[in-house]
Amino acid sequence: MLSSIFFLITGSIGLFYGSEWLIDGAKDIAKKFKISDLVIGLTIVSIGTSFPELIVGIISSFEGHNDFVIGNVLGSNVANIGLALGLPAIFYKMNFEYKNVISAFSYNLLACGALYYIILDNRIDYSDSQILLFLFIIYIIASFLRPNITSCDGELENKKKVCLKKSFGRLFAGSIMLYAGSELFISNGASPLVREFGFSEKAIGMTVVAIGTSLPELFVTLMALSKKEVGISLGNIIGSNIFNILFVLGVVGFISPLQVSDVSFELFFGVGLLLLLALLSFFYKGLNKLSGFLLVSIYVLFLYLQFYG
């Protein structure tokens, strides 16, 4: 028990410093190449914070824990919006233009729709993975080509000289630290505690493992908002959800076909949460404290349903 708590704390420290390095590196790269914070969040930062999901997915697949793979992805997507975005919104007001994020929401919905069609036969095989990876490539290209969010409009002005070598170094080191922190948190901290209570593999994947792999998104969002980088914080969450479905499941299914259990409820729950986020964003032109409380409350309901529903 005590050793698990120690690893929970150690993992959290790794996630904190990893997110700090990742944000700093991504911000400098954005300014150097005149790319907006939102696009950097949707692509580079979201890929960095989603490394834990990718590694956990590959390892779980090789060990035959398929419910961990799909549970981790869908559970993380719910946690990203309900926890990693909802909790920071309680402390920080998030202002952004709805027109600049509607396409990101649309890509997320498209990814969810593609996944639903693919898992109708409870399987993700080689051909399914090709579809997911193809959609991921289209998403990345489209993210960088949209002029209304890649233009700077003064937001990326920087009088400091940017050293790309150091920036990419911080980006890489931050991603590694995020992975190491997540690994300590999940494998050595959270999972041993929950396994003692005898819950199912699916429930653990949807909750504890998902929360553990979503901690990078939470820490990055908090750090980005503390630096007033709303674009990175929002882009990180939506980008990570798209990355989890299209790239993580695409790569894992490409390496080894996945047999998945019925996860329709969790998939549609995530879609509902995404639509709620879009609705709140439209009416409030961002997220406020009330929105944050609502998202966190819904996520707590999701956790309850996983164990007792």
d(CA 53, CA 69) in angstroms, rounded, equals 8
* Strand, helix or coil for residue 94: strand
pLDDT for 23 = 77
Tens-place pLDDT, residues 48-74: 777 778 888 888 788 787 888 898 899
CA 17 to chain centre: 18
3-state helix, strand, coil in the chain (%, to 5): 80, 5, 15
Inter-axis angle of helices 230-243 and 2-32, nearest 10: 110
Question: Would the pLDDT of 151 be above 60?
Answer: no
Tens-place pLDDT, residues 156-186: 444 567 788 888 898 889 888 888 887 787 7
Contact 217, 22 (CB under 8 A): no
Tens-place pLDDT, residues 69-118: 898 899 999 999 999 999 999 988 888 777 767 888 999 999 999 999 99
Phi and psi at residue 34, to the nearest 5°: 60, 40
> What domains appear along the chain, each with residue ranges and CATH number?
2-308 (1.20.1420.30)
286 φ/ψ sector (left φ>0, alpha ψ -120 to 50, else beta): left
pLDDT for 309 = 66
pTM, 2 dp: 0.83
Q: HSE (CB half, 13 Å, CA atoms) of 29? A: 22
Distances in whole angstroms, Cα of residue 111 to Cα of each of 162, 260, 305 = 35, 17, 24
The token pair that represents 253 in the structure block: 């299914």
